[in-house]
Structure 1
Amino acid sequence: MEDKSEATLGLFLLIMLQGFLSSGGVEVRPSINPAVAGGTVTLSLFPSENIKSGSWSVGQSPVVTWQGTYQAVFPSHTGRASVNISTGALTLTSLTVADSGVYEVLGTDPQLKANASITVEESISNVTLSVTQTGLLEFQSSALMNCSVSAGSSLSYVWTNGSSVVKVGDRVQLSNGGSTLSVLNLTRFDSGPFRCSVSNPVSNGTSNPENVTVNYGPDNMALTVNGEGTTAFTAGSNLTMLCSAESNPAAQLQWAFKGELVNSTGTRLQLIHVSENQTGTYTCLAFNNNTSKYSNITRTITISKSGADQQAVNVALLPLMLLSSKLIFFSTNT
Structure 2
Amino acid sequence: MSYINATDFTNPSTFILLGIPGLETAHVWISIPFSAIYAIAVLGNVTILIIVKREPSLHEPMYYFLCMLAVTDLVLSTSTLPKILSIFWFNSREIDFNACLTQVYFIQCFAAIESGILAAMAFDRYVAICHPLRHSTILTNPLVAKIGLAMLLRNAVIILPYPFLLRQWPYCRTNIIPEPYCVHIAVVKLACADTRVNSYYGLFVLFGVVGLDMIFIALSYLQILRAIFNLPTKDARLKTFLTCGSHLCAIGIFYIPSVIYSLIYRFGQNFPQHVHVLFGNMHFLLPPMLNPIIYGVKTKQIRARLLGLVTRK
Shorter chain as denominator, the TM-score bin is: under 0.3
More relative contact order, 1 or 2 (CA 8 Å, 6+ apart): 2
TM-score of the pair, normalised by structure 1: 0.16
Structure 1 or 2: more helix by fraction: 2
TM-score of the pair, normalised by structure 2: 0.17
Whichever of the two has the greater Rg, that structure is 1
